[in-house]
Amino acid sequence: DAKTTQPPSMDCAEGRAANLPCNHSTISGNEYVYWYRQIHSQGPQYIIHGLKNNETNEMASLIITEDRKSSTLILPHATLRDTAVYYCIVRALTGGFKTIFGAGTRLFVKA
């Protein structure tokens, strides 16, 4: 599975959009981009995933660049409850079920 690079931490003002970047320059054509988040003392929560088209659900939007070497998770109106560690994961749908969680980005939403 391709390696991902995320900033260790970010700040965002409450009510503003939070844009969390992820670099995955070695991504292969069959690898998807997944995003999870982990609120303190809780288990990780699946947010969204995509292959090459932009995706949106009730939690967030995922923007994948045309060359697929990077992506951005967008929380359109961040709230204090969005403070969490956000994990960007790239993996193929073959090769087993192992999913590697890296260090992620610690997002602080401030009032």
Partner 1 sequence: SQTIHQWPATLVQPVGSPLSLECTVEGTSNPNLYWYRQAAGRGLQLLFYSVGIGQISSEVPQNLSASRPQDRQFILSSKKLLLSDSGFYLCAWSAPDSYEQYFGPGTRLTVT
Considering the complex, state which of residue 29 and residue 43 has its C-beta at the smaller distance from partner 1.
43
Considering the complex, state which of residue 10 and residue 49 has its C-beta at the smaller distance from partner 1.
49
CB of 53 to partner 1, least distance (A): 17
User: Which span sits near partner 1 by CB under 8 A: 2-10, 14-22, 68-76, 92-100?
Assistant: 92-100
CB of 82 to partner 1, least distance (A): 17
Query: Binding of partner 1 at residue 9 (CB under 8 A)?
Result: no
Query: Binding of partner 1 at residue 95 (CB under 8 A)?
Result: no
Tokens representing 83 are 């403070």
Compose the 37-56 pattern: x for residues touching partner 1 by CB under 8 A, - for all others: ----xxxxxx--x-------
Answer for which of 66, 81, 98, 111 binds partner 1 (CB under 8 A) is 98
Quick one: 41 exposed, middle or buried, by C-beta within 10 A (0-12, 13-18, 19+)? exposed
**Residue 109 to residue 83: CA distance in whole angstroms:** 5
